[in-house]
Amino acid sequence: MADRSTKQSFSRFTSALGITSNPNRPASATGAAPSSSSTASDFLAGASHLYSFGRVSDVFKSHSHLSTPRPHDGEIGGGFDGSATSKSLVKDVDSQLAALAMSPEGDRVAVAGREVLKVLTVSSNALIDTVNLRVGSRLNLNFSSNDVQWGLAASSNILATAATNGSVVIWDLAMRAPQKIDRVISEHNRAVNRIAFNQGNGSWMLSASQDGSMKLWDLRERGGARLTMLGKSEAVRDVRFNHANAVEFAAAFDNGTVQKWDIRQPRMYERKLSAHNGLALSLDWHPNGKFLVTGGRDKFIKVWDLSSDVRRPRNIITTMAPVARVAWRPGGGKNRMEIASCALVSDNRIHVWDLRRPGVANRVLDEHENVVAGLLWRDENTLWSCSKDRTFRQYDVLMAPQPVDSLSHVAFGWSPLNEFGFCIGSRPKKVSPLLHTHLRSEEDLSLKEPKGRRSGSFKMSRAGSIAGTEPGADEPLVPRQATGMMHLPGNETEAFIYLAKHYITSTTTFTIPEACEHNAQAAYRVQKYRTSQTWKMIGQAVEWEERTERARIADEANARATLEDARQMGENARQSKPRHPHLEAVRKNSGWETPESQTTARPSPVLEPEVLPDGEAATVIGTPKSVPEHNLTTSISTLSLRTPSEALKIPRPEIRSYASTNTLIPVNSQGEPQPAVSAASHPSDSTISAFSSSTDKSISGFGSSYDERSDTEPIGGQDIPPSLESQPDFPMTSNVVFPSSYRSMSTPSSFGSSQSTDHHYASSEPDDTPMEGEDKMLESQMTLKGGSGVHQHEPIRILGTKGGELRKPWAPSSLIHKVTEYYAEQADVQMCSSIALLLGERVDIPDTRLEEWQLGYIELLQRYRLFVTVAEVINATKNENVRAPGLTETQLHTGCHRCLKPLLNERTRAGYWYCERCARTLDGCTICRIPVKGQWTLCQSCGHGGHYHCMSEWFKDEGMCPSEGCGHRCLHK
């Protein structure tokens, strides 16, 4: 039952980390295939270790939540001052902030908002308020800033602010006057959203406005704009010069497009990308000048490779809120593919994303109390941000928590093919020794896989070209995890599928004993001997019950029959009645049976009636009146002997050891002096040979042989009565009968194997019977039976003394109860639910339990895609909760006759009769070519057909098939 929950957690986990496990991966665990039964328990133990490890990781999880974030090994020295202490700083500026800009030297920052414009000096441990540019200035709409930018190079003393009323204000910090306004530019009609300075020429400034235009200014000139560029795409939200190519810039627009411009061609953009659904709000160039990152209202961050012609984004990051700002992390190495972003609304955090792991943010900075309005990287590890909560902050990114730490690193699950996959965090110092040893036994795990192999399981991006990127940029992130997969023994898939297809679970065409017999054979064929035996027991128990019932009725009828008959019967009955009354009833009853039903009804574990030919049974039992008395006793004795022997649970240590050692004894152990040994060894031999021929996978082979041993062992052990040594004569019969039946069953052509049966007889018979052929064997059996009948008084009496209680142990209700208990313990829902379905109301099992089994069985069947069996189970069940989904959630699809796939037609293009895979409508009527809806009339020989009326028209005066080139004479006129 644990499988299901762990399976779910596994799939959840793998999806969370983007690890794709291939369920069809060949069972690569063959190298570690268990060769002894101890390994199997090892596997189970390993699984439970993993399970407990999963819980241990939960402890890590809560721990990492509580603990202060720790910088990564090897990254500590990366900071600019080399200290590992936090460089986080806060400054409250008493007004909402909208933007910030860094001075070219990186020591000062300008923060701007509606009512504020300040320059702060950043020292190593403090933020000092240096200049307040709004002091003394008239409160004016021109100063209500949307954006602020610091000039570069020649203009490094220049600040430019963009106002909501469309003006751009140039401030000169070098000015002596308290009012440091250099000039106010008001050429834009509507609000200016962003300004950008050119890195190459610090005097060039670009302004992007709500009116959809971008204007390029040269600050050295006092006149109007040098260039006006029209994007023709609604308002411009962001604009940035390319760091690597000073004449290029990119602009983000309200309608979601992003344009790349070259200022040498101001009439038309060079390239246009439909980047976002809704507003594109922000963009940033990668330092290499090729990649562009954009963020939009649609909650996506997209990375574009502008050096290639691909129109799709190179990477996509899905965030939780509209993206207001994006910024590439500067610096080389592994930081080069990281992006910082903040949200427009509803999220106050700054996320730092690593493109190699787009599913989860690399770092989260959660300090602000309101939405972050602006962010920029001061250097590789220091981030500056300003927010509507009126604060400016400096972060040490290395100190920020990593969300991936709070995710569970451990998961596992089972595939339908009985493979066990798991994924563990490899923390070398923390791996428990138990797990370690366990892993070592799995040599082929991807722990030792080459790196390239693992990259396949980690999908970096959904689309985009990798070609043309600089080396190293695409190096996949190697998660600190290892995944593994192994094949588990037991619960063989093939057996399950075979049984699912062959079990009879409804009594519509078969009686219960017949169905049990059938199921037993099916189980036998897949080497599930214990299951097979169980079916037989159930069949017999049910049959016995039915028969006693019939006998009771017949008894009553007979009692009322003619006096002579009654006397005759009474005479016969009296002879055995005192000792075993129920057997008497059986005998009497069998006396009235017809030979056919007799053979099937014969209470024998001998499965194939043809092994002991019908004739024999008929002669023995079929003629009631003339049967000699000792023959009757024979049939009774076989019954009485066998039935208890199956119920018998006397553990015999020495016999058990026989059974296990016998696996090593070659088949020709006939010369063995002890008949008991060969009898016990026989089933083992036969099953071993069957195993080696049936499967070549050593693992599943192990599973079956393991299973088989557990099955055969009790048979070998229990079949030998306790009186084996003391009474050499008597047990002969039981020993002979059992293995022979086994032998013949193991090979479907039972007659072909009669030779080996003979050998077996020969070996088990001491000397007195000659062995020359089948007839002889039968003879010997008969003589044995006949002969042994004489000696059988004692064992029969032993059993007969318990006769009063013997009704109980094999009464179906208690038997079935025990059987289902057992198989439920073994987690064999197939067996449990098959028994429950077949026996219906005979089973006394709580409804909830029954429902659990059946739902479990249905789920397994669905995983194996055995939908026919699912339907059978749902039809056969009495449980309403199981039936209900079958009645409501069943879908029936029409299939395409070409590709045999269902016609789903969710996006109906050309009507229902259109197969999207073949991109064609289905072939219609042979005559009119119109798709047939409703009744399809066809010739059963050639398969051509169509509309009923078309066909009937045609065949009014034709006999040939209407299909061209068919030539079949469908009607003979």
Partner 1 sequence: MDIWQGTSHNNRGRNPSGIYAIMESLQSSIMSADGQLPSVRARPRLLLMGLRRCGKSSIQKVVFHKMPPNETLFLESTSKITKDNINSFIDFQVWDFPGQIDFFDPTFDADSIFGEIGALIFIIDAQDDYLDALQKLHVTITRALAVNPNIHLEVFIHKVDGLSDDYKIDTQRDIQQRTSDELADVGLDNVTLNFHLTSIYDHSIFEAFSKVIQKLIPQLPTLENLLNILCSNSGIEKAYLFDVLSKIYIATDSSPVDMQSYEICSDFIDVVIDVSTIYGYDRPTPSLPPTSTSTTTPTDPDSAGSIIKLSNGLVLYLREINRYLALICLMRSEALDKHGLVEWNVGCFQKAIEEVFDIEKRSGVPTPGGPEEGGEGVRIELAIV
Q: Which residues are paired to 946 by β-bridges?
A: 937
DSSP string, 841-864: GG----HHHHHHHHHHHHHHHHHT
Whichever of 276 and 709 has its CB closer to partner 1, that residue is 276
Q: Is 907 a binder of partner 1 (CB under 8 A)?
A: yes
Which residues are bridge partners to 425 per DSSP?
481
**Interface with partner 1 (CB under 8 A), residue from 75, 234, 616, 672:** 234
Q: Please pick, from the candidates 49, 61, 70, 190, the single residue that binds partner 1 as defined by CB under 8 A.
A: 190
Stretch that binds partner 1, among 33-41, 338-346, 390-398, 593-601 (CB under 8 A): 338-346
- 561 touches partner 1 by CB under 8 A: no
Site for partner 1 in 435-494 (CB under 8 A): 462
If one counts every other C-beta atom within 10 angstroms of the C-beta of residue 147, the result is: 25
Binders of partner 1 among residues 591 to 650 (CB under 8 A) are none
- Residue 189 as a binder of partner 1 (CB under 8 A): the answer is yes
Q: CA-to-CA distance for 913 and 922, rounded, in angstroms? A: 6
Q: Which is nearer to partner 1, 211 or 262 (CB)?
A: 211
327 contacts: CB under 8 Å, gap ≥ 6: 284, 339, 340, 341, 375, 376, 377
Pairing of strands 97-102, 937-938: unpaired
Inter-residue contact 216 to 233 (CB < 8 Å) = no
Closest separation in Å from C-beta 384 to partner 1: 22
Query: Are the CB atoms for 159 and 111 separated by under 8 Å?
Result: no
How wide is the angle at C-alpha 846 spanned by C-alphas 843 and 851, nearest 5°? 95
Which is nearer to partner 1, 175 or 320 (by Cβ)? 320
Q: Distance (Å, rounded) from C-alpha 512 to C-alpha 574?
A: 33
CA-wise closest residue to 260 among 227, 235, 294, 226: 294
Is 12 a residue that touches partner 1 (CB under 8 A)? no
Among 28, 165, 199, 506, binds partner 1 (CB under 8 A): 165
Which CB sits closer to partner 1, 222 or 909?
909
Q: Rounded to the nearest whole angstrom, what is the least distance from the CB of residue 219 to partner 1 in the complex?
A: 24
718-747 residues in contact with partner 1 (CB under 8 A) are none
Given candidates 235, 303, 500, 641, which one binds partner 1 under the rule CB under 8 A?
Answer: 235
To partner 1, the closest distance from the beta carbon of 256 in angstroms equals 8
CB of 906 to partner 1, least distance (A): 9
Handedness of CA 344, 347, 348, 354 (dihedral sign): negative
Query: What is the footprint of partner 1 within residues 125-144 (CB under 8 A)?
Result: 139, 141, 144
> What is the smallest separation between the CB atom of 255 and partner 1, expressed in angstroms?
6
Using CB under 8 A, pick the residue from 211, 405, 514, 923 that binds partner 1: 211
CB of 205 vs partner 1, minimal distance in Å:
20
Determine the distance from the C-alpha atom of residue 435 to the mean position of all C-alpha atoms in its chain, rounded to a whole number.
23
Pick from 44, 154, 345, 884 the residue near partner 1 by CB under 8 A. 345
What is the enclosing helix (H) or strand (E) of 162?
Answer: strand 158-163
Nearest to 394 by CA among 405, 402, 383: 383
User: Which residues 274-333 are close enough to bind partner 1 by CB under 8 A?
Assistant: 274-279, 281, 297-298, 300, 311-312, 322, 324
Least distance to partner 1 from the beta carbon of 315, Å?
13
Give the 3-state secondary structure of residue 969: strand
Long-range contacts of 879-882 (CB under 8 A, 24+ apart): 879/847, 879/850, 879/851, 879/854, 881/851, 881/855, 882/851, 882/854, 882/855, 882/858
Rounded distance, CA 424 to CA 442, Å? Answer: 14
Of positions 181, 191, 360, 667, contacts partner 1 by CB under 8 A: 191
Number of residues that bind partner 1 (CB under 8 A): 41
The binder of partner 1 chosen from 6, 21, 146, 394 (CB under 8 A): 146
Among 222, 264, 909, 973, binds partner 1 (CB under 8 A): 909
Please work out, in degrees rounded to the nearest 5, the angle formed at the alpha carbon of residue 837 by the alpha carbons of 860 and 880. 80
- Least Å from the CB of residue 344 to partner 1: 6
Return the range that interacts with partner 1 (CB under 8 A); candidates 161-169, 559-567, 599-607, 714-722.
Answer: 161-169
Q: Where does this chain bind partner 1 (CB under 8 A)?
A: 114, 139, 141, 144, 146, 164-166, 189-191, 193, 210-211, 232-235, 237, 254-255, 274-279, 281, 297-298, 300, 311-312, 322, 324, 344-346, 462, 907, 909
